[in-house]
Amino acid sequence: MSIVILALETSCDETSAAVVSDGAEILSNVISSQVDVHRKFGGVVPEVASRKHLELITQVTAEALSEAGLNFKDLDAIAVTYGPGLVGALLVGVSAAKAMAYGLDLPLVGVNHLEGHIYANFLVQPELEFPLLCLVVSGGHTDLIYMERHGSFRLMGKTRDDAAGEAFDKVARTVGLGYPGGPVIERLARAGDSGAISLPRAYLEEGSFDFSFSGLKSAVINYLHRAGQRGEEVNKADLAAGFQKAVTGVLVDKTLAAARETGVATIVLAGGVAANTELRESLARGAERDSRRVVAPPPVLCTDNAAMIACAAYHKYLRGAFAPFTLNAVPNLKLGEERYEGNFRGRLYLSG
Ligand code: KG4
Ligand code: ZN
């Protein structure tokens, strides 16, 4: 008997619902992006995002069920992202999921958004073997995480200021390329020379697995400013290529160093920035030199989607890690942490 989970994801600006069987077979993964709504503001406007989620959630959920060819009665559990993310946006998914779970008398599974990103890899390769080193690079996070087993996350390093995706978005906005920054910078960088403009790379203290991207962002802003003062034309493609190389270079070097320290055979990539071809390819090349392998979800499963949440939920379901109906949105939820209010059935899993 397979376990069929309906999952909702509304942590930021994607309204998504997915139906996944046994954590690996995607029966549907409907993603309604609000990018066009937020583009004119140059970034996500939280209040607008939650209103949009509210408008879309019922329709997106109905589509996910009908695309899967299933009814509510075919489901075994309802899963939802309950943090980290924008509180008003998270609340829409959490409220909808609780209502469905309560109405259908189904178990409720609360999922950490970052855990979902990591589990996008198990969606495509369910047989992945531990230990794993995960590089999670999204709009809000840049984390290096060691996983010894399912549900266990040891944070080895994180950004001390901007997340990698945030740096892409801020630089794109400064250069006047629009939102979201990652895909536009990647496209523009293809026509540029990554060695033409010298930009700084922050490696921090010897042996540190932490990251810092704010200096790089400031260097790009200063470069544009100086060029403007001198009345010089900026080659945006060279700037995009140089910036992309500086971000991905540090990400790759630190990830490979952490892989050597932990001795893992497999590195997994996760989060929106994992869709970046330069990052995927240079990490894969470096890992191969060290006889390691890199696993990365296809780009559509790197950015926010509910299928990854269903996959993480499946593994929590197997552990009996259910949430109570008092589940609430937790905007600053940490990986490996469960923050449920009140009693719940199931077990609590903390970082190992
Ligand atoms: O994981 P995600 O969809 O949402 C968050 O959880 O934050 O990540 C979104 C981030 C944005 O900052 C976006 O610019 C970045 O991922 N991104 C990329 C690419 N596609 C999305 N960054 C670099 N290259 C890409 N191809
Ligand atoms: Zn995300």
277-316: per-residue pLDDT in tens?
A: 999 999 999 999 999 999 999 999 999 999 999 999 999 9
Phi, psi of 10 (to 5 degrees): -140, 35
| pLDDT confidence of residue 40 | 83
Ordered DSSP codes for 109-173: EEEEHHHHHHHHHHHH-TT--SSEEEEEE-SS-EEEEEESSTT--EEEEEBSS--HHHHHHHHHH
| 197 CA → ligand 1 middle, Å | 24
Residue 43 pLDDT > 90: no
What is the percent of the chain with per-residue pLDDT over 70, rounded to a whole number?
A: 97
Give start-end residues of each CATH 3.30.420.40 domain in the chain.
Answer: 4-118+302-351, 130-296
The pair of three-digit structure tokens given for residue 197, joined into one six-digit string? 């403009």
Residue 348 pLDDT > 70: no
Q: Is 213 in the pocket of ligand 1 (CB under 6 A)?
A: no
Q: Quote the pTM value.
A: 0.94
What is the percent of the chain with per-residue pLDDT over 90, rounded to a whole number?
A: 91
| pLDDT confidence of residue 35 | 86
User: Region 4-31: what's the mean pLDDT?
Assistant: 97
Question: Which DSSP state fits 79?
Answer: E
CA angle 30, 332, 132 (to 5 degrees): 70
140-164: per-residue pLDDT in tens?
A: 999 999 999 999 999 999 999 999 9
Question: Which DSSP state fits 258?
Answer: H
> Nearest residue CA, atom 21 of ligand 1?
272
Q: Could you tell me which of 352, 351, 350, 343 has the C-alpha nearest to residue 322?
A: 343
Q: Is 169 in the pocket of ligand 1 (CB under 6 A)?
A: yes
Separation of CA 254 from chain center: 19
Q: Is 138 in the pocket of ligand 1 (CB under 6 A)?
A: yes
β-pairing, 266-270 vs 132-137, is parallel
Q: Which atom of ligand 1 is nearest to the CA of 179?
A: 14
Burial of 184 (0-12, 13-18, 19+ CB in 10 A): middle
User: Region 62-67: what's the mean pLDDT?
Assistant: 98
Q: How confident is the model at residue 57 (pLDDT cuts 50, 70, 90)?
A: very high
Q: Is 180 in the pocket of ligand 1 (CB under 6 A)?
A: yes
| pLDDT confidence of residue 350 | 38
| pLDDT confidence of residue 341 | 65
> Nearest residue CA, atom 23 of ligand 1?
182
Q: Is 135 in the pocket of ligand 1 (CB under 6 A)?
A: no
CA angle 152, 120, 94 (to 5 degrees): 80
| pLDDT confidence of residue 36 | 86
Q: Which atom of ligand 1 is nearest to the CA of 164?
A: 12
Q: Which atom of ligand 1 is nearest to the CA of 166?
A: 12
User: Region 184-192: what's the mean pLDDT?
Assistant: 97
Residue 352 pLDDT > 60: no
Q: Could you tell me which of 34, 32, 31 has the C-alpha nearest to residue 43?
A: 34
Q: Is 165 in the pocket of ligand 1 (CB under 6 A)?
A: yes
Residue 347 pLDDT > 80: no
| pLDDT confidence of residue 351 | 36
Residue 344 pLDDT > 80: no
Residue 8 pLDDT > 80: yes
> Nearest residue CA, atom 22 of ligand 1?
182
Span of 17-31, 39-53, 59-73 with lowest mean pLDDT: 39-53
Distances (CA, A) of 32 to 7, 190, 202, 317: 14, 28, 36, 26
Q: What is the CATH number of domain 4-118+302-351?
A: 3.30.420.40
Residue 88 pLDDT > 80: yes
Q: Is 140 in the pocket of ligand 1 (CB under 6 A)?
A: yes
**CATH superfamily of the domain spanning 130-296:** ATPase, nucleotide binding domain (3.30.420.40)
Tell me how long the chain is.
352
Burial of 144 (0-12, 13-18, 19+ CB in 10 A): buried
Q: Is 278 in the pocket of ligand 1 (CB under 6 A)?
A: no
> Nearest residue CA, atom 10 of ligand 1?
139
User: Region 196-217: what's the mean pLDDT?
Assistant: 96
Sign of the four-CA dihedral 44, 282, 175, 211:
positive
Q: Is 162 in the pocket of ligand 1 (CB under 6 A)?
A: no
| pLDDT confidence of residue 41 | 85
Sign of the four-CA dihedral 87, 88, 92, 95:
positive
> Mean pLDDT, the chain, as a whole number?
94
Span of 56-70, 118-132, 274-288, 326-340 with lowest mean pLDDT: 326-340
Neighbours of 325 (CB within 10 A): 12
Which ligand has the shortest distance to the CA of 169?
Answer: 1
| pLDDT confidence of residue 93 | 98
